Amino acid sequence: MSSNIVLGQNQYGKAEVRVVKITRDTRRHEIEDLNVTSQLRGDFEAAHLEGDNTHVVATDTQKNTIYAFARDGIGSPEAFLLRLGEHFTSSFDWVTGGRWEAESYGWDRIQAHGSGHHHSFVRTGQEVRTAVLVRDGAAAHLISGLTDLTVLKSTQSGFVGFDRDKYTTLPETTDRILATDVSARWRFKTGTDFTAVDFNKSYADIKALLLEAFTEKYSHALQQTLFDMGAKVLEAHPEIDEIRFSMPNKHHFLVDLSPFGLDNPNEVFFAADRPYGLIEATVQRDDTVPADLAWAGITGFC
């Protein structure tokens, strides 16, 4: 092999470990549902170059560790990832860091006879909660987020004043449907004492703020609404340094009902699934310290 060919950055692990934890210490059971990925970084050169697996923590071992840790409860996806990251970086001298990711799926109690059932649940369909932990030596970067939060406002949105050239056919409008699937990830300040953060409370509050900001102002463009949503979160949560969004514009086109002798006073629409506008941006503090390593491996903005 040529002497000028070397091993670059690398990581490995077990992807998408589905784990469901039922807490049944009382008649009223609790459910926690995660999809967890564990990837380790460190001294794995010999495995790649020599086939020497001495330092390899088997991906099956990583899977089993996830299940074993779930036995003691999950609590929040962020807290669970922090436990995993601490375990792998402290238990194996050659593991210097890694990347741990989780999706969390929500369940509600089925309503029966006027109250939530003790042990029967129905999947909630609003959004998927996400978390990513990246460790590099002593530094830990934690990113929380959500995907597939579908929102729509039926008025108080328009789109005018955009540039026009010979290929522009889109008419201006001051009253349109604005709809999107919100994907957002927010990064906690580097050095945050994660033991002092109630991640479940933080997540619920940030989701509520995103929804409030979507409703509050007349939207001149999805870009403006995106920025307002991010700014509202940063103003309320000083522990968050930046928030990144990926938001498709889910177009709704007014249907022409005139061939049927009917008017359409902005009431009947065709919901197009593609093509769609895709708006992506980062909203951050002006003194934010970049943390490129934290975002490595996250496709696009979210």
Active-site option among 59, 61, 282, 288: 59
**Active-site choice (141, 232, 250, 251):** 251
Q: Is 250 a catalytic residue?
A: no
| Phi, psi (degrees; rounded to nearest 5) at 142 | -120, 130
Does residue 232 have an active-site annotation?
no
What's the CA gap between 153 and 155, in Å, rounded?
6
Q: CA–CA distance from 46 to each of 6, 37, 56, 89, 101 (Å)?
A: 12, 24, 9, 19, 26
What 3-state DSSP class applies to 170?
coil
- In angstroms, how far is CA 166 from the centroid of its own chain? 39
Contact (CB, 8 A) for 37 and 50:
no
Nearest to 157 by CA among 226, 205, 90, 104: 226
Q: Which 3-state string (H, E, C) describes 255-275?
A: CCCHHHCCCCCCCCEEECCCC
Which entry of 14, 63, 141, 250 is annotated as an active-site residue?
Answer: 14
Q: Contact at 8 Å (CB) between 180 and 149?
A: no
Instruction: Please state the separation of Cα 74 from the chain's center in Å.
Output: 18
Q: Which of 76, 136, 172, 180 is nearest to 297 (CA)?
A: 136
Annotation says 59 is catalytic: yes
Radius of gyration of the chain (CA): 23
Helix boundaries (H) for the chain: 45-49, 59-70, 77-91, 199-216, 222-236, 292-295
Give the active site residues.
Answer: 14, 59, 251
